[in-house]
Structure 1
Amino acid sequence: MDSLFSSLRNRGETESSTLATVAVAAAEATPAFIPHGHPSQADILTQIREALVEVLPPQVGSLPEPGLTITNVATKPTGLSNFVGEERLNQFAIVLRGGRVEAAVSFHLWAITPNDIDPQLDQLHANLLEAKDDLRAAGFLRITAAGSSLATYIPSLNAWRATSEYIFLYEFLYTDTDGAQSLIAQIPIHTDPEELNSPQRETAVVSDEMVRWDDDSAPALVLRGNQLVSQLSALTFVPGATPSGEVLLLRTYTDAIDPAAEFPNLDEFITAVTDPDTPARNAQVILPLNNFLAAFTTTGDPIELGDWNEDNVPDNYEPRLLKFAAPIPLPQTSDRLQLVYQPDSNDPQFDQVAVIYLRAGQL
């Protein structure tokens, strides 16, 4: 069998000497969309069919359209427990898993005369070779020619039909929360020093550039210089009404004396603090939580995490992204960018059942 292309180099599967041609996907090829959760077998076969239909030669006159049939489907594992690696959902880490499908596909081609069948077969083969980068990006690791049938006359249609068969190995990917109940937004650290007159216990909290807001607590997200902040990512679970309250976005610095300049909306605030000549170092904007969330764009399928509202149904968190028109510079260690829920409250928390994870970072 002749291999049209194979992309199994360093993929952990040994190939025979007949599968020597390796095609690396071109940079401009668009990778397949990665869904959250294991796709159904029907969805996998639909993805395969949609990709392969694109390589069929065009219909000839009033003859039937060229078609394909997928047979001899067998599933294969990918890695240990189908673990492939780690994917980024905006700025949140998420488990990447996968699976493989090996199957045969028969392409059915039509022609008016038997002599017209061979050019159709040649065109199919050429289309597969030309589409190798896009097919690889879509998940096809290998496509091997398995043979073609002789042209068969179909009296009822006064036409000739031939079938060309290929064996392929297809890999699909999906994201998974790996059974996690939540994300780690902060880590409490307890110490019990065995010293005379020492406190019984000292507690500190370690956090990074992520916070969790819910109906128990909503700590502030504080970012310090030296860095550029280009975007905010969010995972939101709001099963009912959106919590009320306001969100303060404050760009300031240590020892700022004057009150922060207030801006009426997020766009004007971003424009002021990112001005290339004289960026505002002490500025703020206050938005209702609902308006703040409306500034984000939904960026993918919901992911499942825990059961915060205790309804015995996994909670679906919607991934969202807010890209600033320009990065907010925090060039000095004294610079700060703060995101605060209910800035006038000593104990901020949602007044409705909801959870929002927020993370800041660069593009």
Structure 2
Amino acid sequence: MSLFPTTLPPAEAIPLRGGPVLRWGVLAPGRIAGGFVWALHQHTDQRVHAVASRAPERASRFAAAYGIPRVHESYEQLVADPQVDIVYVASPHSEHKRQALLAIAAGKHVLVEKPLALSASEARDIARAAHAAGVFAMEALWSRFLPQTLLIEQLLREGVLGDVQLVMADFGGRFDFDPEGRVFNPALGGGALLDIGIYPIWFAHFALGAPPRVHATGSLTQTGVDAQAALVLSYATGAQALLHTTVLAETPQEAVIAGTHARLQLDSRFFAPSGFTLKAARSDQRLRWTDTSGIHGSEGLAYQAAAVARHIAEGHTESPLHPLERSIAVLETIDAARGQLGASGRDGGSAR
């Protein structure tokens, strides 16, 4: 019988300053890109040197807002810029593969916003191209690099929770319906699963690995993309993951990992800097961990930028923490769920 720990180990954190520095270029400056650049400039030594947009005036406004010295009139010009080491792709999902391949073909490292692509098939194309070119490529799954995630990984590795039997996670938000917008437009990779559902699905993969069986139920919007989905992921060990995502209502946005020795419950917005409670099984013993870094919300994007710089300096072409194989496996789960729901969209491959 495992003894419940008296204290939690100190949380490791990826150093945000003092390490290798990359010169970043940003493709498709929008809200997500703005949050990334702000966090990067505010909390790390990394710097954005160039930006490009299909609308040059938009790129100019973005550059002025974030102190970026170079504005390019096309994506092709940016990826050819010798002052850029790595390209951050922040476009709608439908453009991820094309823009990632553009950067890779120019010999640039690439960080692609989640999801890596519209489907596992497209993600494999990106991985093959990056491997062939010998450049670094990663999906920007920022939650993987937060201090809380590194600590949870340690607890799982040391068997503090025992055998994990159940993972539960949800992420729902209320989005105003816009048939032409990114969330609801099939041509842009719309739908809950690809947009915010990737967080609970990734979390289940993080805790339990890729599932051999996926069962999904849910509903579609009038544009044919998935409005909400409930997933059961089943594993050979008997473990399960119960996941939910929706664009119709705000949900608690919490997550739980339940094992034979203890249960770990993450606070709301489990995918952002927050905290968790570890409770012993069949006992009132519990331990509390809270992120005291002062980094809140999307400021946590800083950790992945610093991690990428260190990975590249160490000679990696993939992240040891979030390899391309994990991104592909998560998209395989999403492919399966979207296929079972009958969701429409340009997915670059068939759902299984």
User: Shorter-chain TM-score: which interval?
Assistant: under 0.3
Which is helix-richer, 1 or 2?
Answer: 2
Q: Give the structure-1-normalised TM-score.
A: 0.21
Q: Which has more radius of gyration?
A: 1
Q: Give the structure-2-normalised TM-score.
A: 0.22
